Structure 1
Amino acid sequence: MNKNKSHPLVADDIPSNPLTTTRIAILSLSAIGALIIYFLSFRAVEFSFSSLVNGIDNMWEFIGGMFPPDLSNSILKKVFDETLLTIQLALVGTTISALIAFPLSFLAAKNTAPGWSYAPVRFFFNAVRAIDTLIFALIFVAWVGLGPFPGMLAMAIHSIGMLGKLFSEAIENIDKGQVEALKSVGATRMEVVRWAVIPQVSTYFISYFLYRFEINIRAAVVLGLVGAGGIGQYLKTNMDLYNYDTVSVIIFTILILVMTIDAFSNWLRRKLI
């Protein structure tokens, strides 16, 4: 006998309609509110298709001025020097931030931090991470003046928060078995960190460092627009002077730089992890 014989549906088998009158009213009001917010937002940003169409001539003039690019020796040398400075900015800023974030991350991880350090160090990481690199750059430019130094400081401060968060989370996710094994034979806190924690997280730390360096290369270009040195500052100078043939060389160089650093960083991270 078939015990799974079908039976006719009864009223109790049919689920009640979840869209009650109250829910329909709430959803309708939410949709209307969202439409109003989007409408006001598009008005606030002065979104205009006509401006795009009317500005086509200006865009063609800009593109036309970029060709042929200025490939004179003096321009190429200047672009090379500023590109090298941009790489150095990102490298020094990232290295300084990693050197500071490394010890602090152990004070911000639940499984290695003393009771007094976890909350304040975590707060510090969150605070400096919440402020954009560009804002830090404006502050340091006002403090120490134009040039690469304020750009490096801005990248370093912001990167401390980012790397500190990543480092501390990596520490919290380690295999606790090695830690417990060392503690069971009387190892001190420093010995546990040295022999059980660091070996497990070292490759992740290097990977995060490379990832942050990759981000800081792009950040260094943008920071130059506010006078923090590097290829970005040289780009802004030539844009202001309408030297579009030089601008084309700079933009192409930035494109090659970012793509090369991204590819190298991704390749190296894959090798490490």
Structure 2
Amino acid sequence: MSQTTLQGRNRVGGATWATFIIAALFFWSMWAIGFSPDRLGKLPAQMVEVLGFFWPADMAYGWDRVMPAIAESIQIAWIGTIIGALFSLPLALLGARTLFPKLARGVKLISAITRAFPEILLAIYFVPIVGLGPFGGALAIGISSIGMLTKLGAEVVDSLDHGPIEAVEAAGGSRILALRFAVLPQVLPEIIAHWLFRFELNIRASAVLGVVGAGGVGGVLLNTLRYRHFDKAAAVLVLTILIVLVIDMVSGEIRRRIIRG
């Protein structure tokens, strides 16, 4: 029997075992969350019933109370994105294996640890330190953004063309000059696109942080649901979704223009 045939059989056997393991994990997870066909069949009718509580939406309340809270959420997301961008750019350069192989492993470990903490857990930690309000939310989003943007930025730097770097260093330029004139011009457009994408994600995250007292529209939504003012909660949801969609479209168009150059 040829070696090629044995390798083919090993791949098929490995794929079979992988499929079996995935299927077993899927059914075990379904059992753990209490899934049943009966509950799934009742879900559409229950969703329609609950949605009926939210109709009609009290849009007057939305404009008076919700828009300032949405503006605060956008400000939280913007400040958090700026914090992430400022700190992640140098960390992304240091985390590139092709530029700083000795430092890259430590930087990526720090990035991974930072990404392991969801924004809401960071907000729960910061609120007792800095007090209730949007400042704690901005810090939470900023730290979370640093981890993600560092990872994405380091991957961009690792994939760049090293010809210009070698040309600068061959001409007697230092590593700092190579970063300034050979690396940054190549990677900044894509890194800025990642910053804008992270801003979109931060808008969604900031809308939830108000639940733990970190400012934004989440606190308004929590209060309306707590007192069963479903018409007002509907206004919060409608306006928040509309604003997020508009920001996504604008940011997406800017990112496409940046990447196309």
**Shared fold per TM-score greater than 0.5:** yes
Higher helix share: 2
Which amino acid in the other structure matches residue 88 of structure 1? Q
CA distance in structure 1 between the partners assigned to 2:63 and 2:224 by the alignment: 14
CA distance in structure 2 between the partners assigned to 1:168 and 1:176 by the alignment: 14
Which amino acid in the other structure matches residue 71 of structure 1? M
Residue of structure 2 equivalent to 1:242:
228
Q: CA deviation at 1:63?
A: 2.5
1:211 paired with 2:197, answer: yes
Q: Mark the CA change 1:112 to 1:34 in structure 2 (over 3 Å): closer, same or farther.
A: closer
Q: Mark the CA change 1:264 to 1:189 in structure 2 (over 3 Å): closer, same or farther.
A: same
Which amino acid in the other structure matches residue 214 of structure 1? E
Q: CA deviation at 1:118?
A: 2.2
Q: 2:161 pairs with 163, 175, 179, which one?
A: 175
Residue of structure 2 equivalent to 1:120:
106
Q: CA deviation at 1:55?
A: 7.4
Q: CA deviation at 1:95?
A: 0.4
Q: CA deviation at 1:129?
A: 1.4
Q: CA deviation at 1:243?
A: 0.7
Q: Which region of structure 1 is more displaced relative to structure 2, 146-155 or 254-263?
A: 146-155
CA distance in structure 2 between the partners assigned to 1:95 and 1:34 by the alignment: 40
Q: CA deviation at 1:247?
A: 1.1
Which amino acid in the other structure matches residue 93 of structure 1? G
**What is the aligned length?**
254
Which amino acid in the other structure matches residue 44 of structure 1? A
Q: Mark the CA change 1:182 to 1:251 in structure 2 (over 3 Å): closer, same or farther.
A: same
Q: CA deviation at 1:127?
A: 1.1
CA distance in structure 2 between the partners assigned to 1:259 and 1:234 by the alignment: 20
Q: CA deviation at 1:101?
A: 0.7
Which amino acid in the other structure matches residue 209 of structure 1? W
Question: 1:181-212 CA deviation, whole Å, 9 max, x = no partner?
Answer: 11111001111111111111111121111011
Q: CA deviation at 1:59?
A: 4.7
2:59 alignment partner, SS class: coil
Q: CA deviation at 1:75?
A: 4.0
Q: Mark the CA change 1:241 to 1:40 in structure 2 (over 3 Å): closer, same or farther.
A: same
Question: 1:58-111 CA deviation, whole Å, 9 max, x = no partner?
Answer: 655533332222132x54121110110111011000101110111122211123
Larger radius of gyration: 1
Q: CA deviation at 1:52?
A: 5.8
Residue of structure 2 equivalent to 1:194:
180
TM-score, normalised relative to structure 2:
0.84
1:83 paired with 2:70, answer: yes
Q: CA deviation at 1:214?
A: 0.7
CA distance in structure 2 between the partners assigned to 1:109 and 1:146 by the alignment: 38
Residue of structure 1 equivalent to 2:244:
258
Question: 1:118-177 CA deviation, whole Å, 9 max, x = no partner?
Answer: 222121111111222222222223443432222211111111011011111212222111
Residue of structure 1 equivalent to 2:81:
94
Q: 1:164 pairs with 145, 150, 173, which one?
A: 150
Question: Please, which runs of 5 or more residues in structure 2 have no aligned partner?
Answer: none
Contact 1:62 1:244 in 2 (8 A): no
Task: Give the superposed CA RMSD.
Answer: 3.0
Contact 2:62 2:236 in 1 (8 A): no
CA distance in structure 1 between the partners assigned to 2:16 and 2:177 by the alignment: 58
Residue of structure 2 equivalent to 1:7:
none
Contact 1:203 1:272 in 2 (8 A): yes
2:56 alignment partner, SS class: coil
Aligned identity (percent) is 35
CA distance in structure 1 between the partners assigned to 2:9 and 2:174 by the alignment: 61
Residue of structure 1 equivalent to 2:126:
140
CA distance in structure 1 between the partners assigned to 2:123 and 2:85 by the alignment: 19
